[in-house]
Structure 1
Amino acid sequence: MRVRSQLVRRVAATAAGLGLAAGAVVGIVGATAANAETKSTTVTASTAAVKKTVTIDGSDWIVPAGSKVRYFGKTTGIAKNTKVQVQRLEGKKWVNFPATTKVTSKGTYSVYVQTSRVGKHQFRVAVAGLVTKQQHLEITKK
């Protein structure tokens, strides 16, 4: 029984070491069940990686020049205070728009966009290497 317990501990330690070396989050959960005749040990190793996501409010807007438009959304797997950058499509290239915010402790964000450039625009939000779907914004003359 002693050799078996040592083997189980070594297997668990090896699994934990390999998981950490791979950059995964490894949890070792051990449960011991005792029986009057035999003793056995059960070890379970699991890896849990949180998928990073970001969403944006799905509304398209038509507003007069100079109006503020609020974009907001939720994130998962992204740390609090991570920078959220609004981007505008100019030609075929996405460029940073002068509007930023940070992810809250609840994984949400809210940012306002304001422009006087009349015409049709497309905006999106970029955070932690992820981007949202584009949002259409049409600016009309006042």
Structure 2
Amino acid sequence: MNRAYRFAIAGALAAGLAAGGAATAFAAPAPAPAPVASAPVTSVSTAAPAAKPALTAQSSVATIGAWQEFRVSGKATGIKPGTTVVLQQKQGAKWVSLPAKVTVDKSSTYSMRVKLGIKGKNALRVTGGGAVSEPIYVTVR
């Protein structure tokens, strides 16, 4: 039954294509378009070029005890207010997003509270709005 159904569909499609091809084969050719004189194009741009998105990041401390709270804050340029920025930590060779995220405020700044538990020197960065900050380092005792 399935094979018969496929043959019927294929036949209907083939007949439709053949009829459509025959109709276009016997249609009169379209007249060639008249050449159009083109004027030189001048670009007038009054808007300033958009700033490339960038983020800065700084920590409120350089050394902290495990699971003690500190702040990571910074400035966003070329990023709309209300855009979410996320803190990332380098774990091995990969950057892993931490559950610390905030939105950029009207003055293009952000500040988030952070707690780290991995002891040693931790590399952190902030991402969001198509920008990535330079890494900052916090040592956890």
TM-score tier by shorter-chain length is 0.5 to 0.7
The DSSP-based 3-state class of the residue aligned with 1:49 is: coil
**Pairwise CA distance, 1:129:** 1.6
Provide the TM-score with structure 2 as the length reference.
0.64
**Pairwise CA distance, 1:120:** 1.7
Aligned-residue identity in percent: 31
2:56 aligned residue: 55
Counterparts of 1:90 and 1:116 in 2: how far apart (Å)? 12
Instruction: Name the CA shift for 1:133/1:59 in 2 (closer, same or farther; >3 Å).
Output: farther
2:46 aligned residue: 46
**What amino acid does structure 2 have at the position aligned with 1:49?**
P
1:91 aligned residue: 92
Counterparts of 2:59 and 2:66 in 1: how far apart (Å)? 21
Counterparts of 1:85 and 1:93 in 2: how far apart (Å)? 15
1:23 aligned residue: none
Q: Does residue 76 in structure 1 map to residue 77 in structure 2?
A: yes
Aligned residues: 102
Q: Does residue 139 in structure 1 map to residue 114 in structure 2?
A: no
Counterparts of 2:100 and 2:116 in 1: how far apart (Å)? 11
The DSSP-based 3-state class of the residue aligned with 1:65 is: coil
Instruction: Name the CA shift for 1:67/1:58 in 2 (closer, same or farther; >3 Å).
Output: closer
Any gaps of 5 or more consecutive residues in structure 2?
A: 1-39
Instruction: Name the CA shift for 1:75/1:130 in 2 (closer, same or farther; >3 Å).
Output: same
The DSSP-based 3-state class of the residue aligned with 1:46 is: coil
Q: Which runs of 4+ in 1 moved over 4 A?
A: none
Counterparts of 1:76 and 1:116 in 2: how far apart (Å)? 31
Counterparts of 1:115 and 1:59 in 2: how far apart (Å)? 13
The DSSP-based 3-state class of the residue aligned with 1:81 is: coil
Across the aligned residues of Structure 1 and Structure 2, the Cα RMSD in angstroms comes to 2.3
Counterparts of 1:88 and 1:123 in 2: how far apart (Å)? 5
Aligned residues of 1:73 and 1:109 also touching (Cα < 8 A)? yes
**Pairwise CA distance, 1:134:** 0.6
Instruction: Name the CA shift for 1:60/1:132 in 2 (closer, same or farther; >3 Å).
Output: farther
Which has the larger share of strand?
1
